[in-house]
A = this chain, B = another copy of it.
Amino acid sequence: MQIRRLDTQAADFSAQLDALLDRAPELGAEVTRAVDEIIAQVRARGDAALLEYTQRFDRRSLSGVAELEVPRAQWQAAWEAQPQDLREALQAAATRIRAYAEQQKIAPFEFTDALGNRLGQQLRPLDRVGIYVPGGKAAYPSSVLMNAIPAKVAGVPEIIMVVPAPGGELNTVVLAAAHLAGVDRIFTIGGAQAVAALAYGTASVPAVDKIVGPGNAYVAAAKRAVFGRVGIDSIAGPSEILVISDAGSNPDWMAMDLFSQAEHGEDSESILISPDADFLDRVAEAMQRRVQSLPRAQTVRASIEGRGALIKVRDLAEACAISNHIAPEHLELAVEEPRALLPQIRHAGAIFIGRHTPEAFGDYCAGPNHVLPTSRAARYANPLGVYEFQKRSSLIECTPQGAQALAQIAGRIADAEGLQAHAQSARDRG
């Protein structure tokens, strides 16, 4: 396995790094056109189009739309069919995800201004949320927990899950997780047609207010297209890990942490930064050795060769600067004094502090969400959280007395903007 080595002291380091990073997925015009057509068809013909696309893309033979909904008894059975230790692990994870989500809730507020007027912010959960869960080999029960539990904690009354069943195959652990997480309805639909059905509604699939969850390029394009009609979480890109490590970490652990991203796919990005060149050598050696034990060794090798790197830096401050430039989805601080670095970290989806906190904990059970901004979106975006399922209404309540001063201010600015009805409406209360 070829492992890329970079050094910040090389003259062309910046160019090399940016070449490595510049792989943000751009949606092709072809995908966009196909998706626009699918959305138009589902919007115009509803269930009939949904059924046709599902039969074609998922290679299914269906007698009718009713078959697309998974009866609740089937989830219950799926839950009960799981081994006891897996059920306990999922329950423990769900409990921790819920406990963290509770901390994130946005609170309402109100205060009285100097004029006696009341100002505030009211919070409400969304009415109905759609969760997209990828099917096939990337059907992950952990994603069901991570998407559904924060919505439930926010108080969303109805969660509609969609998950494609290619060839009719459905992952029973995903159904079990839906049962555990409190999903309300499940439809075995996927792709752009599922996103369209959730956004516009059909006779069988209810329209939702927001669609969350990862998917392939068609799902991403469809989410972008329906944004505005419904809310969406983000356009998910390939997974990323950035590890900042000093010489004190276990190279074997570091190697496996990198692999835990690399095994997601060939486009995953796995980078380790250290000021210690010898340590980087030891990590490289561990990577060569440990990759052999992995069932997904082929994917890991391709991923590491394509988008992996070990970067030698002058010091940890420089490591933090590079991390901010990359704005990684996952950042591990595997150093002696990780808390000392925290103030320097501006952009990262989730920060794993210290040598005993591998990114894999965050994927499953630490508590914080594993749906995180990718492709540098940590510069501006949040982890998925309760706040994505709550929304604010501003509150303004003036007293007859308190309205006087506002009438004058609003009237004056409205005059300057040439909006006389605004000015008059304000001054009516003056």
Contacts and interface: CB of A to CB of B under 8 A. Distances in A.
A424 B253 CA distance: 9
A345 to B, nearest CB: 7
A140 interface: yes
A24 to B, nearest CB: 7
A361 B396 contact: yes
Interface string A95-138: 01001100110100101010001110110101100000000010
A64 interface: no
Nearest to A397: B353
A362 interface: yes
Interface string A355-399: 011111111111111001001011111110101000111111111
A11 interface: no
A228 B121 CA distance: 28
B93 A379 contact: no
A113 B141 contact: no
A408 interface: yes
The size bracket of the interface on A is 35 or more
B413 A364 contact: yes
Contacts of A350: 393-396
A24 B229 contact: yes
A122 to B, nearest CB: 7
Q: Which 10 A-B pairs have the closest CB atoms?
A: A368-B394, A231-B380, A353-B397, A89-B412, A259-B421, A350-B394, A364-B410, A256-B425, A356-B403, A228-B235
B260 A421 contact: yes
Given A228-B377, A260-B421, A392 B396 contact: no
Given A93-B413, A378-B393, A426 B361 contact: yes
Contacts of A264: 419
A349 interface: yes
A413 B383 contact: no
17 contacts: A92-B405, A117-B357, A119-B367, A173-B417, A228-B375, A230-B380, A259-B425, A263-B421, A263-B422, A300-B421, A339-B397, A350-B394, A350-B396, A353-B397, A354-B398, A363-B410, A365-B410
Copy total for this chain = 2
A228 B379 CA distance: 11
A417 B140 contact: yes
Contacts of A188: none
A305 interface: no
Contacts of A290: 424
Given A367-B119, A380-B209, A380-B391, A351 B396 contact: yes
A142 interface: yes
A358 B425 contact: yes
A341 to B, nearest CB: 12
B406 A361 contact: yes
Contacts of A357: 117, 396-398, 403, 429
A117 to B, nearest CB: 7
Contact of A366 (B119, B210, B379, B416): B119
A320 interface: no
Nearest to A129: B380
Contact of A235 (B137, B141, B227, B403): B227
A245 interface: no
A428 interface: yes
Given A256-B428, A394-B368, A414 B360 contact: yes
A59 B237 CA distance: 40
B412 A86 contact: yes
A409 B87 CA distance: 10
Contacts of A406: 361, 365-366
A141 B228 contact: no
Interface in A125-175: 126-127, 137, 140-142, 173
A216 interface: no
Contact of A342 (B111, B122, B229, B377): B122
B396 A368 contact: yes
Contacts of A103: 109, 111, 119, 121
